[in-house]
A and B are shown apart, each in its own frame.
Chain A
Amino acid sequence: MRPRFVHLLRAEWTKLRTVRGWTIAMLAAGLVTVALGLLIASGDRASCGDGASEEACPAAPVGPGGEAVQDRFYFVHQPLTGDGTITVRLTSLTGIITYPPPGHDEIVDDVVPWAKAGIMIKDGAEPGSAYAAVMMTGDHGARMQHDFTHDTAGLPGGASNTSPRWLRLTRSGDTLTGEESADGVRWTGIGTIRLKGLPDEVQVGLFVASPCDLTVNSSLGGSSEECRFTQATAVFDRVDVQGSTPLGTWSGIEVADDDGQTDWEKDHRPNGLVRSGDTFTVSGAGDIAPLGDSGAAPIERTLTGTFAGLIIVIVVAAMFVTTEYRRGLIRYTLLASPRRGRALAAKAAVIGVVTFVVGLAATAVTLPLGTRILRANGINILPVSQLTELRVVVGTAALLAVAAVSALALGILFRRSIAAVTVGVAVVVLPYFLAVGAVLPESAAAWLMRVTPAAGFAIQQSIPAYPQVIGHYAPSTGYYPLAPWLGFAVLCGYAAVVLGLAALRLRRSDA
């Protein structure tokens, strides 16, 4: 004989499927998620050009890790064959920021916190190619970075004439070691990393980059971002390359020169190299970093309709049990399964699994279709690994399922549809709306997405926020304060608590 629990599962499944309204509502939950996602995707358009002629925006280069990157900087380089070492002394890092707040009326001499100047070994000068670099930054001291997303801190401080900083980068096979020194004698390691598949011939040299200066103006219902042009200038001397350098001469290029410079840049302060004897003065703009969401859409943009499906799922899941209380049918449920914990477990499992399957079908259809529509509308999609895509698709379905189980438990606690649905929507969907819709200040929005069950929406975030890249990281731009699985765990925690309370109430009270 099969275990009793299987029969309870079958009974609850029979209950769920034999009320036509619920079947229709569950299908509607899936369909509305698909429809809303595709509708929003088809309304999203982007084009690039000067207004007279619209053309597709160029796709961002892709880094070795598969992510979209920005790879724009000034590079003074020459080829290096095989193993080798580059050592430099950095005596100055200065720069300009154009028209910063509060006045927005002048160009000031300053460096942005993540302006970068240092030495680099890179797999050619193509944007997106693998690299490792040792650098001084505007505000974050010495760093070693590689392949766009990886960042290791060295010692803090800056570089100046009176206290210069020495940097050294050594290649040995596919191992690269970054070091720094205050005097060129005693060296401190920053990091050792591996660049798999780095070819024998690489480009070695000096680089300068300076990301734009971001300010975010938040207001009720939205925010505007402004990123102003900045430029950094570094002075290097004691430049020494050990190893096989067949050319023996330096040349400077603008990596990823997309001709995006303003006239002012070209005329007044062009990026480039000024060489005076052994002193190299290099000016650069741009950044070497993951792209973030500027100019491209993350895959989860297509799942914007999830909240609508979620509301329907909450209603069905709550009514799945509250109607039993309303009609007195709960007594027959408990007659059929006097072990009340099991009755609850069977109900929760059925509503959870059914919601998961419906949600998975919806997300598995919406994401590929939606990204296709976005691409057709000229919007580039930020590439992510298949594993991340799977996490977003499956995780969204799991988010719906866990919310459904929570709503069921709320139904047992309140025994009334209105109360259970109201509370369910108020704690799961409403915080998401308030946070993502930029109704609240960003700090409050971030807290909502940390401490309420809406934290579970973090499972949809495909592009992480990087501390070493300045960006507008807020729920309204698709960045949640908790990591995907951590946010999902918060939702699961709430579900477990409310399910436990429901079990307690069900067990203790007379039916």
Chain B
Amino acid sequence: MQATIEVNDLHKRFGSTVALDGMTFTVRPGRVTGFVGPNGAGKSTTMRVILGLDAAASGSALVGGRPYRTLRFPYRHVGALLDAAALQPSRSARHHLLWQAHSQGLGARRVDEVIDLVGLRQAARRKAGGYSLGMRQRLGVAAALLGDPPVLMLDEPFNGLDPEGIVWIRGLLRSLAAEGRAILVSSHLMSELQDVAGHIVVVGRGRVVADTSMADLIGQHATLEDAYLELTRDAVEFRGAS
């Protein structure tokens, strides 16, 4: 099983708005790839297209060389964290993971393993509706890890995490990458990615504006933040006069 995400020339519009305009990049195994860009640049749409949730007008998106929709037990190929708020509030965290495990032919034992992995053992039987945003992020990561997948896609995983949580998830991401997995992490804060992403894909207006190693990017600019602002200057729709 290849641990890659290959996105090739994706196009998509929402009405008159161009959402994806030739989006092309590849996520390789063994490292964390940061996926950054301003709001509306097409990060989430790209992720949804990769996961078969949205349909692109043209282009292809392959996970491990195959379209997501053709995967038998997709959680075993790619784990995804899209929206930490996406849960039924009156269902316990453990049951939230259990139905997803069952859908992939996995059992309760795997659920307990990922609960331990994300440090939610104490709270696992509580209703997920009472969870803080940080706990929900951990729960979302747990769901993504259920199928022990070679590919991971996490949309804004740092949101709502306290400093301890941010340290935790960075360590987790590094160790998962070290195991040879391909990991795509989106964020709109470059600083969050600085210590963890080995590679960066910067997008704006539905296309890739930079696809480079973190070292190269920092080498050309004073800070990662400067690099980001420079690269996305033409890609954002609104920015205060400076």
Contacts and interface: CB of A to CB of B under 8 A. Distances in A.
A9 to B, nearest CB: 9
A329 B73 CA distance: 18
B226 interface: no
A15 to B, nearest CB: 5
A332 interface: yes
A12 B98 CA distance: 11
B103 A337 contact: yes
Interface string A1-27: 110100110111011001111000000
Given A1-B105, A7-B105, A510-B53, A18 B98 contact: yes
Contacts of A14: 95, 98-99, 102
Contacts of A338: 52, 68-71, 74
A184 B54 CA distance: 84
Contact of B88 (A8, A10, A19, A331): A19
Contacts of A328: 82-83, 85-86
How many chain B residues sit at the interface, stated as a range, is: 20 to 34
Given A2-B105, A19-B88, A338-B71, A331 B83 contact: yes
A227 interface: no
A307 B100 CA distance: 34
B194 interface: no
Q: What is the size category of the interface that chain A forms with chain B?
A: 20 to 34
B48 interface: yes
B53 A331 contact: yes
A11 B103 contact: yes
B115 interface: no
Max chain B C-beta neighbours (<10 A), residue from A7, A327, A332: A332
Contact of B91 (A1, A12, A19, A339): A19
Contact of B53 (A8, A19, A335): A335
B5 interface: no
Interface in A457-511: 510-511
Nearest to B52: A338
B74 A336 contact: yes
Contacts of A336: 74-75, 100, 103-104
B53 A327 contact: no
Given A327-B88, A328-B83, A338-B74, A11 B99 contact: yes
Interface string A317-358: 000000110011101101111110000000000000000000
Contact of A21 (B52, B55, B90, B95): B90
A18 B95 contact: yes
A18 B91 contact: yes
B224 interface: no
Nearest to A1: B105
Nearest to A339: B69
A11 B80 CA distance: 18
Contacts of A331: 48, 53, 82-83, 86
Q: Which 3 pairs show the lowest CB-CB distances between chains A and B?
A: A11-B103, A18-B95, A328-B86
Interface of B: 48, 51-55, 68-75, 80, 82-83, 85-92, 95, 98-100, 102-105, 143
30 contacts: A4-B105, A7-B104, A10-B102, A10-B103, A11-B102, A11-B103, A14-B99, A20-B90, A324-B88, A327-B87, A327-B88, A327-B89, A328-B82, A328-B86, A331-B86, A332-B86, A334-B53, A335-B52, A335-B74, A335-B80, A335-B82, A336-B75, A337-B103, A338-B52, A338-B68, A338-B70, A338-B71, A338-B74, A510-B53, A510-B54
Given A18-B99, A336-B103, 9 more contacts: A2-B105, A7-B105, A12-B99, A15-B99, A19-B91, A331-B48, A332-B143, A336-B74, A510-B55
